[in-house]
Structure 1
Amino acid sequence: MLFDSSVRRELWRSFSGTLVVLLTVLLTMVLIRILSQATKGALAPTDVGLVLSYTVIGQLPVLLALALFVSVVSVLSRIWRDSEMVVWQASGARQASFIRPLLGMAWPVLLMVAGAALVARPWAQNQTQVLKYRYEQRSDMARVAPGQFQVSADGKRVFFIDSHSDGLQSGRNVFMVTTADGQEAVVTANQGQVQVIDGQRFLVLSHGERTQTDLSTGEKALSRFETAKVRMGEAIDPNDVAPDMRSLPTLALLALRSDEARGELVWRFGLVWAAFNMVLAGLSLAAGNARRHSSWNLVYALLVFVVYFNLLSLSQTWVSRGKLPWDGALLAVHGTLTGAALLVVWWRDGARWPGQSARRPSPKASP
C-alpha cells in the first residue's frame, strides 16, 4: 500500500509540472504561427483566440502522452539514482511490480487521451475549418482593413479602401489593381459593393475611372464609368467541398471504406495505444546504476519517443496510400513496442515468470 501510494503521488506531481511546461511551450509556438497566418489574411484577426484553443485541443493527445512519458522516466530514474530501487527490491518488489502503480496513476490520463483523440480533436479540427471557410467566403471587400492593402483570395487583385460601410459588404474610396493576360488595370471608385448574381460574385463599382496598361507595349487607355461590374469568382456551395478526414467523427470514419479513412483511424487509435506504450517504455528505459551518474537512459528515452511517433505518422501514410492494412499497421508499430517493453522488464527481473523464485547457484561440495 505504501509502495503504490508513494509512487503514484510522485508521478502525479511530476506529470502536472511537466504538462504545465509543455503546454506553455505549445501555446507560445502556436500563437506565433496563428498570428502569422492572421497577418497574411488566412484567418480573421478576431478568431485568433478560438483557433488557438482549437489547435491546442488538437495537439492535446500528443501533449498528454509526452508528459506521461517524461514523468514516468524522470520519477523512476530518480528512484534508481537515489538507491530507493534497492530498498524496494530488498523488500521483495520487482521491476514488474511497478506496472500496477504506474497504470493506477496513468488510467485517467489514458482516458483523457482517448477522449481527446477520438472526440475532441475531430471536433476542434471541424470548428477550425468552419472558421476558415467562413472567412474565405467573406467578400474580398470584407477582408480589407481600412487603410491597408490586401490581396484577394485568388491573388489576382490588390485592394485598398478608405472605410467600410455597415455590414462590411461595401467600401468607400475603393482602389483596385488587377493583373491578367498581360494587362494591368488600375480602378478607382467612390464606392464598391459585393453582389451575388446567378451564382457569381461581382464587385459593383460606382462613379470611378479605369486605367488599363498593356504590359508588353506600354500603351494605356483611360475610361470613366458611372457603374461597373468586376467578376470576383463563383459562390462556393459548402456541400461541394470535400470533407477533411481529420474533422470527421470517429463513428463516421468507421463507416467509410476508403484508405484515407483507415489511415486517420490508425492515427487516432494509435495515439491511445501510444500513450499506454509510453508507460511501459518509460518503465523499461528508466533503469540505471546508482554508482554511475550518467543520463544515457534519458537520451535513449528521447530517441525512442521521436522514432516511435515518426513511425506512427509513417504508418498513417502507408495505410492512406493502401500499402498496409490498418489493423496490421497498428499491430506492427504499437504491438511491437508493447512486446519489446514487456520483454525488457522481464529480462531486467532476471527472466523469471510470475511466482518463480530466483535461481541461486548450488553450493559446491567440500572435498
Structure 2
Amino acid sequence: MIVFRYLSREVLVTLSAVSAVLLVIIMSGRFIKYLAQAAQGALDPGVLFLIMGFRIPGFLQLILPLGLFLGFLLAYGRLYLESEMTVLSATGMSQQRLMAYSLAPALLVALLVAWLSLGLAPQGVSQVARILNEQDALTELDTLVPGRFQALKGGGRVTYTETLSGDRGELGGVFISEKRISRQDGKDRGIGVLVAEKGHQEIQPDGSRYLILKNGYRYDGNPGKADYRIIQYETYGVLLPKPEISSEIGEREAVPTSELIGSNDPRYQAELQWRLSIPLLVFVVTLLAVPLSKVNPRQGRFLKLLPAILLYMAYLALLIAARGQLDKGRIPMSVGLWWVHGLFFSVGLLLLYWEPLRLKWAARRDAREVAHG
C-alpha cells in the first residue's frame, strides 16, 4: 500500500504540473485570437474572460490524457533512473503489478475526463456559442471605445469618436474613414472620410441600424491626388455593419450528450463516439506509457520520451482522421473509432509483454541448444 501511494502521488503530481503548463500554453494562444477580435471591434472586451472560462473544460478533456501519459513517462522514468524501480523489482514488483498500480490514477483521470467530455465541455461550448451569437448581433457602435480608432473589414473601415455616452446613444467628435469599392467591377475608387460634431443611433423598422451624423463634412477622393470632393451636410446617415466573428466551434459540439444517445443522425453518432473515446483514450495511453517509461539509467530518462510522444501523436491523429471519415460515411458506424483503440491497445499489450516473452523465447532457445549440444 505504501508503494501504491508513493507511485500514485508521483504520477499525479507530475500530471498536475504538465497539465497546468499545457493549459496555459493553449489558453494563451486562444486568448490572443479573441483579443485580436476584440481589438478589431468584433468582440466586447468584457466577455473575453467569460469565453475563456467556458472553454476550459473543452481544453482539459484533451490535455489531461496527454498530461497523464507524460506523467507516467517522467515520473516512472525518474524512478528507473535513480534505480528505485530496480529496488522495487527486487522485492517482486513486476511490470504487470506496476500496470495494476497505474490503473488507479488512470481510473481517476478517466472519470474526470468523462465528466468533462460528456457533461461540462458541451455545456461550455453551448455558452460560448450563445455569447458569440449575442456578439454577432452587435454593430460597431456597440463595441466602439471612445478615444480609440477601431478598424473593421480588415482595415477597410476605421471609426473614431472622441466621446460616447453611457447608453452608447450619443457620440461626439466623430471620424469615419472607409474604402470606396465599385459594385460593378469591384475596383478601388479611393476613400471616403466623414467628420461630424456629433451623432446618434437610430433603429429602422426592418432592424437595420444607422448612425445619424450632425453638422459635418464628407471628403471623397484618391490619396495623392488633388481632386477631392468636399460636401458639407447638416444630417447624414451611415449604415452600421455587423462585426464578423470567426468561430472554430461546431454546432454539434454544443449538443448535450443525452440528445446524442439514441440519435439516428450519423453526425451525432460520430460525435457520441468521439466523446466516449476520450475517456477510453486514458486507459490505452496508460497501457502504452508504463512499458515505454522503462529506461536504462545509463541512457537517461529522455531516451524514449520523443518516440513515446510521437506514438501518442500518431494515436490522436489517427483518431481525428477516423472521426473525419466517420462523418463522411466512409467508415461503418459499427466499426467507428473503436478499431483505432483496438490497434493501439494491441500495441500496448505487445510492449508490456515483449520483455517476458523475449526472455522466455531466449530461455527456450538456450535449452534447445543445450539439448542438441
Smaller-chain TM-score bracket: 0.7 to 0.9
Report what 2:177 is aligned to. Answer: 177
Residues 54 and 128 in structure 2, CA contact (< 8 A), matched pair in contact too: yes
Report what 1:336 is aligned to. Answer: 343
Provide the C-alpha distance between the structure 1 equivalents of 2:299 and 2:250, rounded to a whole number of angstroms. 55
AA matched with 1:150: Q
Secondary structure, counterpart of 1:185 in structure 2: strand
Report what 2:237 is aligned to. Answer: 229
Provide the C-alpha distance between the structure 2 equivalents of 1:218 and 1:14, rounded to a whole number of angstroms. 68
Report what 1:199 is aligned to. Answer: 207
Q: CA offsets, 1:87-138, max 9 Å, x none?
A: 4444444211122211112212111111112222222222223333323322
Report what 2:51 is aligned to. Answer: 51
Provide the C-alpha distance between the structure 1 equivalents of 2:210 and 2:3, rounded to a whole number of angstroms. 73
Q: Percent identity?
A: 26
Residues 95 and 352 in structure 2, CA contact (< 8 A), matched pair in contact too: yes
AA matched with 2:208: Q
Provide the C-alpha distance between the structure 1 equivalents of 2:259 and 2:216, rounded to a whole number of angstroms. 52
Task: Go from structure 1 to structure 2 and tell me whether the alpha carbon gap of 1:134 and 1:302 turns closer, same or farther (over 3 Å shift).
Answer: same
AA matched with 2:357: G
Task: Go from structure 1 to structure 2 and tell me whether the alpha carbon gap of 1:247 and 1:340 turns closer, same or farther (over 3 Å shift).
Answer: same
The 4+ residue runs of structure 1 with deviation greater than 6 A are 362-365
- Work out which of the residue numbers 187, 211, 215 in structure 1 matches 2:219: 211
Provide the C-alpha distance between the structure 2 equivalents of 1:91 and 1:139, rounded to a whole number of angstroms. 71
With structure 2 as the length reference, what TM-score do the two structures score?
Answer: 0.81
AA matched with 1:194: Q
Report what 1:6 is aligned to. Answer: 6
Q: Per-residue deviation at 1:158?
A: 2.2
Residues 170 and 194 in structure 1, CA contact (< 8 A), matched pair in contact too: yes
Provide the C-alpha distance between the structure 2 equivalents of 1:235 and 1:176, rounded to a whole number of angstroms. 16
AA matched with 1:228: Y
Q: Per-residue deviation at 1:214?
A: 7.6
Matches within 5 A, 1:76-155: 76-152=76-152
Task: Go from structure 1 to structure 2 and tell me whether the alpha carbon gap of 1:256 and 1:152 turns closer, same or farther (over 3 Å shift).
Answer: farther
Secondary structure, counterpart of 2:235 in structure 1: strand
Q: Aligned residue pairs: how many?
A: 357
Matches within 5 A, 1:314-353: 314-350=321-357
AA matched with 2:120: A
Task: Go from structure 1 to structure 2 and tell me whether the alpha carbon gap of 1:218 and 1:253 turns closer, same or farther (over 3 Å shift).
Answer: farther
Provide the C-alpha distance between the structure 1 equivalents of 2:161 and 2:200, rounded to a whole number of angstroms. 12
Report what 1:39 is aligned to. Answer: 39
Report what 2:75 is aligned to. Answer: 75
Report what 1:239 is aligned to. Answer: none
AA matched with 1:123: Q
Task: Go from structure 1 to structure 2 and tell me whether the alpha carbon gap of 1:258 and 1:363 turns closer, same or farther (over 3 Å shift).
Answer: closer
Task: Go from structure 1 to structure 2 and tell me whether the alpha carbon gap of 1:176 and 1:258 turns closer, same or farther (over 3 Å shift).
Answer: farther
AA matched with 2:213: L
Q: Per-residue deviation at 1:282?
A: 0.5
Provide the C-alpha distance between the structure 2 equivalents of 1:156 and 1:74, rounded to a whole number of angstroms. 51
Greater displacement, 300-309 / 248-257: 248-257
Q: Per-residue deviation at 1:193?
A: 2.4
